[in-house]
């Protein structure tokens, strides 16, 4: 693999790690399968792109975070106050977001950011190094992980983690568990959208149809990472999320390099997630059978 390809994979991996952190919060910490991700990712892209076009790329990221947060807040409301099943809540929000994203983008299916100021061009002008994109992505992820790690160790963060672990216990500890779910889903989708916002400015475009499969990418990253680092402690989980997102990018670019069609990417992701989840089950069954035979 050429160096530039590797650098690109690394940069994309770091950007997708932001998305993976969001998915980690809903899937792992809250233990809720949240499908709104495929919609809120594009909400992030759209919000960030539209701000960048108007000359405020940095504010674009903040706006992406806020828009994603509102989407997650909606999913949370549907789940807790309207008592709609988690999967359906996610699907409803994702479906509704499609129209909202289209509107957000000014009724066009895509926005191009070529020759526009983005956070990447700004940073590059500041450092003037050909590694500037990579440095920016790395700084971004480092700051994000520290903030998130600190948050998950505050009282609020602890309540959030306990809500996914044992809801009855959380309520018995005088915590409003519905509130925790809403807040957790808002934060999860805010991060997902932030990842989307960053990606839009990195690749210089936003496309309203690009959302499908983002959730699976996030999941795949977490699972691949956990295969190496496990999830015994919060630090290990964080390491798993970041390294998983990067590794997954490398796997993809290796596959593309070997001649796999770009449109086959999603099939590849789906197969990867399926295999990673069911591998321990097969292994167990196989070991049991072997014991019987001996």
Partner 1 sequence: MLKLENLSLTFHPNTVNERVALNDVSYEFAPGDFVTILGTNGAGKSTLLNCIAGTLEPDRGKIILDDTDITWMKEHARARQIGRLFQDPLKGTAPNMTILENLGLAYSRGKRSSFRRAIQKADIPFFREQLAKLNLGLEDRMETKVGLLSGGQRQALTLLMATLVTPKLLLLDEHTAALDPKTAQNIMEVTDAIVKEHRILTIMITHNIKQALTYGNKLLVMNEGKIVKELNATEKMQIGVDQLLAMYDLT
Q: What 3-state DSSP class applies to 110?
A: strand
Residue 228, token pair as written in the block: 């190496």
- Among 166, 261, 274, 278, which residue interacts with partner 1 (rule: CB under 8 A)? 166
Q: Which of the ranges 35-43, 97-105, 161-169, 198-206 carries the binding residues for partner 1, by CB under 8 A?
A: 161-169
The reply to whether 236 sits near partner 1 by the rule CB under 8 A is no
The distance of closest approach from Cβ of residue 26 to partner 1 in the complex, given in angstroms and rounded to an integer, is 16
The reply to whether 171 sits near partner 1 by the rule CB under 8 A is yes
Give first-to-last CA distance, the chain, whole Å: 45
The reply to whether 80 sits near partner 1 by the rule CB under 8 A is no
- For partner 1, which is the closer residue by CB, 107 or 155? 155
Please give the angle made by the CA atoms of 95, 17 and 186, to the nearest 5 degrees. 45
CA dihedral for 214, 219, 224, 229, sign (positive or negative): positive
The reply to whether 170 sits near partner 1 by the rule CB under 8 A is yes
Q: Is residue 112 within a helix (H) or strand (E), and if so which, with residue range?
A: strand 110-112
- Among 112, 129, 173, 261, which residue interacts with partner 1 (rule: CB under 8 A)? 173
Q: Mask 89-128, x = binds partner 1 (CB under 8 A)?
A: ----------------------------------------
CA dihedral for 19, 21, 165, 160, sign (positive or negative): negative
Q: Which of the ranges 10-18, 51-59, 71-79, 164-172 carries the binding residues for partner 1, by CB under 8 A?
A: 164-172
The reply to whether 153 sits near partner 1 by the rule CB under 8 A is yes
The reply to whether 176 sits near partner 1 by the rule CB under 8 A is yes
Backbone phi, psi, residue 75, to 5°:
-55, -40
Q: What 3-state DSSP class applies to 205?
A: strand
Q: How many residues in the shown chain lie near partner 1 by CB under 8 A?
A: 21
The reply to whether 235 sits near partner 1 by the rule CB under 8 A is no
Taking each helix axis from N to C terminus, what angle separates 132-152 and 177-203, rounded to the nearest 10 degrees? 180
Listed residue (185, 187, 163) closest to 173, CA to CA: 163
- Among 174, 262, 281, 292, which residue interacts with partner 1 (rule: CB under 8 A)? 174
- Contact, 213 vs 38, CB < 8 A? yes
Which chain residues interact with partner 1 by CB under 8 A?
A: 153-159, 161-162, 165-166, 168-177
């Amino acid at each position: 693999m050429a160096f530039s390809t590797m650098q690109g994979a690394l940069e994309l991996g770091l950007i997708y790690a932001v998305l993976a952190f969001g998915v980690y919060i809903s899937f792992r910490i809250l233990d809720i399968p949240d499908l709104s991700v495929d919609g809120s990712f594009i909400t992030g892209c759209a919000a960030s792109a539209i701000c960048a076009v108007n000359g405020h790329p940095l504010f674009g990221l903040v706006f992406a975070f806020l828009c994603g947060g509102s989407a997650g807040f909606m999913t949370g409301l549907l789940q807790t106050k309207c008592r709609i099943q988690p999967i359906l809540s996610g699907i409803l929000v994702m479906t509704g977001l499609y129209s909202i994203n289209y509107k957000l983008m000014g009724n066009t299916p895509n926005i191009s950011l070529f020759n526009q100021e983005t956070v990447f061009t700004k940073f590059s002008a500041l450092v003037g190094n050909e590694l500037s994109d990579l440095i920016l992505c790395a700084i971004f992820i480092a700051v994000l992980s520290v903030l998130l790690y600190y948050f998950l160790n505050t009282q609020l963060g602890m309540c959030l983690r306990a809500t996914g672990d044992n809801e009855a216990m959380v309520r018995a500890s005088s915590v409003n568990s519905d509130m925790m779910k809403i807040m957790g889903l808002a934060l999860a989708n805010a991060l997902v959208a932030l990842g989307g916002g960053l990606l839009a400015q990195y690749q210089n475009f936003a496309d309203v149809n690009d959302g499908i499969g983002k959730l699976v990418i996030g999941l795949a990253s977490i699972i691949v990472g956990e295969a190496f680092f496990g999830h015994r402690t919060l630090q290990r989980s964080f390491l798993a999320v970041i390294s998983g997102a990067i590794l997954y990018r490398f796997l993809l670019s290796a596959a593309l390099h070997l001649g796999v069609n770009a449109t086959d990417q999603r099939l590849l992701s789906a197969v990867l997630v399926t295999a990673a989840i069911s591998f321990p089950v097969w292994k167990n069954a196989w070991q049991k059978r072997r014991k019987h035979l001996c």
